[in-house]
Structure 1
Amino acid sequence: MTSDIFAQIKEMVDAREAARFYGFNVGPRGAALCPFHPDKHPSLTFKGPHYKCWSCGAHGDTIDIVKYLLGCDTWTAVRQIDRDFALHLPLGDKQPSPQQVEEARQRQRTRELYKKFEAWRKETIDQLTNCIRLANTADWARLTLREAAAIRLKEQLEDVTDRLLYGTPEQQVELFEQRKEVLALISSISITSQIG
């Protein structure tokens, strides 16, 4: 039963989400200064329910990072995560009300949408960066149609990339809502290469 609860928490709340919720400063690319050693450059990274410091080797999961950040034991961390993220896991407490169950479902939907957004954001930044790199490395003496398109759209590509990397959450959500247009911008460079 205990291991099932731990597995459920790790499945429902990733380490980065928990770290941010409890006040830990995680950068837009998911790296942070490691709290386990004097870190001057972000060396702590997050992947799903796990974290790892590439400098000192510290590693763990969602529950471990919450234990550290709150300075508490495992069960206190489990109960705090359950309460703060409205998971309503069977921890021996009273049964959740229908409103609490609906809040937990809504929170889970929000988490799933956030994960979808993060996956889209990462893939889109990679694609935009490749298009910008194409514009920056183009051989002006022998431009291909694809390179010409990348050069022509470079300013727009850089603007979208900057907003995805450094923009406010509202700006990033706006781009996510306009993801078809962003994909069309990226695709216009690939389509040009197929024509040429």
Structure 2
Amino acid sequence: MPLSLYQTVKSAITVRQVGEMYGMEPDRHGMVCCPFHSDSDPSMKLNDTYYYCFGCGANGDAIDLTAKLFDLNPRQAAEKLINDFAFAKQCSPQWGLQVTERSCVSKMEGPRPDRLGLDPDKPPANAIALPPPKRGLTDEQWADIAYCLRVLTDYLDLLHDWRERYKPASLEEPLDERFVEALHMTETIEHLTDCVAFGTTQQKADAAARLLSGSYLLMLEERTDRLALAKCA
């Protein structure tokens, strides 16, 4: 399966859209109950390009989430997304996909999971359960990883909002400092988030330890908290 197909699917659909399509109900912070372990309180965060569960460590992109929910391989998951989100016409026949053209998402075959009366705290019947995380890390290390991800994703969400909210309407309009900050910082914060969210458990712990060894993360947390309070005032 050519890489360009994966890129086409992931650029057209966000992880949050995938979650909502298949019955998840994220709160305003993008948090949902994880379908891959027993979860009474939301522990999975749905971002635009990836998801991460602070409880069991499940993570990945839109295709990964679909594959894990329905026990599919990546190609099957991509085909399902193309069908369910009704953009089969945009995908070149050269990929040889088994897709069904639909004029709109509401014409999906079969009811959506959230219309079946499923318990939101339990995984779908055909979901695959992930193995529990290896116990190679201490509780403190897991807490450090979760803390780093929370601070980084909160700031990243803020940058994404600024990039859209404060973009200039014309070339003549002066650039808002928040828009400039978003342009400068988004790629860096995405990289730091990936370092903590992906890889082996030890790699995640090492990345978190490096971040916590300085004052940068604390500065980010204080700044985002201060901005949040100012917004609520």
Q: Where is the helix percentage greater, Structure 1 or Structure 2?
A: 1
Q: TM-score, structure 1 length as denominator?
A: 0.48
